[in-house]
Amino acid sequence: MEGGSNGSSEGFILLGISDHPRLEMIFFVVILSSYLLTLMGNSTIILLSRLDARLHTPMYFFLSNLSSLDLAFTTSSVPQMLINLWGPDKTITYGGCVTQLYVFLWLGTTECILLVMMSFDRYVAICRPLHYLTIMSPCLCWLLAVISWLGGLGNSVTQSTLTLQLPFCGHRRVDGFLCEVPVMMKLACGDTSVYEAVLNSVSTFFTVVPLSIILISYCFIAQAVLKISSVEGQQKAFMTCLSHLVVVFLFYGSAIYGYLLPAKSSSQDQGKFISLFYTVVTPMVNPLIYTLRNKEVKGALRRLLRRERESG
């Protein structure tokens, strides 16, 4: 039976951590708390980027895009995850699973590409500082953002459609927290080597290529930073890039583990927790990473709170 006709009326069963039912309520509380922190942190960055004129720069334009992505990315999966952890019903409709598959992969791939655009922004800021605002014009920023979103959509349409063509043979039990490509591939029966080869090739392209571009851009950035004469100047340049680098390694590290390892050979529990990491943890910590050492964001937040107190 082909994937497109499989269980269209019954849907799928998201097993989650069904082999550890006593942990479900703990997971529910932890994931709900993380989700609320994600909503609060990313919404704050978007709000500050829009309301504070000092943050109307290319860097914060891309950062607000990243926060919007993280909000949508986690919302595409966490509510369903919480519903399944709360009670005995672990089902998700076929339509819900298909929607989650397309949207989750779209937003995840968009983040891969957007992180490349953010590295380009940092490259121009460090290596071409005198021409920064000329090169990173609003028109170019919007173009790079649109390329990120459309590139992610193109990959999702390709991979998700191929995944749904896999022969599922009536299998409905998804051994994971959400409908995503790696766990859906594990449902397939028969010879799926051609499908797996194509899907792995596309996954490799959208992870390894963007990551390679980011690393190359940071090699040029490092060379430029070392040429700065003052230690203070070097530290300032380094700090403007550190947050982005940390986010890159968190996101790409978990994505490579989750998507590039052979789908049927990776450890089930490890795969689930890696999936939880890039679904729940990364969107939550991104705002913290960008604000903990960022004086501009902290200053914008203080000014906003001061205005609120004065108006109140």
Residue range 263-282, pLDDT digits in tens: 444 556 666 778 788 888 88
| Residue among 201, 289, 219, 216 at smallest CA distance from 251 | 289
Predicted local confidence at residue 18, as pLDDT? 64
* Integer-rounded Cα radius of gyration of the chain: 21
Predicted local confidence at residue 296, as pLDDT? 76
Strand spans (E) along the chain:
12-14, 91-92, 173-174
User: How far apart are the C-alpha atoms of 146 and 236, rounded to whole Å?
Assistant: 30
Predicted local confidence at residue 113, as pLDDT? 94
Structure tokens at 80: 């369903």
Predicted local confidence at residue 3, as pLDDT? 44
| Residue among 154, 165, 246 at smallest CA distance from 206 | 154
User: How far apart are the C-alpha atoms of 211 and 276, rounded to whole Å?
Assistant: 21
Low-confidence ranges of the chain (pLDDT < 50): 1-8, 263-265
Predicted local confidence at residue 287, as pLDDT? 86
Q: Where are the domains of the chain?
A: 10-311
CA-to-CA separations, 248 to 39, 93, 171, 241, in angstroms, rounded: 20, 33, 35, 11
Q: Is 9 exposed, middle or buried (0-12, 13-18, 19+ CB in 10 A)?
A: exposed
User: How far apart are the C-alpha atoms of 180 and 169, rounded to whole Å?
Assistant: 18
List, edge to edge, every strand of the sheet that includes 173-174. 91-92, 12-14, 173-174
Residue range 247-259, pLDDT digits in tens: 898 888 888 877 7
Number of residues written out for the chain: 312
pLDDT, averaged across the chain: 84
Predicted local confidence at residue 261, as pLDDT? 64
For helices 58-75 and 24-51, give the axis angle rounded to 10 degrees.
150
- In three state form, how does the secondary structure of 222-269 look? HHHHHCCCCHHHHHHHHHHHHHHHHHHHHHHHHHHHHHHCCCCCCCHH
C-alpha angle 178-207-222 in degrees, rounded to nearest 5: 130
Predicted local confidence at residue 264, as pLDDT? 47
Predicted local confidence at residue 309, as pLDDT? 72
CATH class, domain 10-311, is: mainly alpha
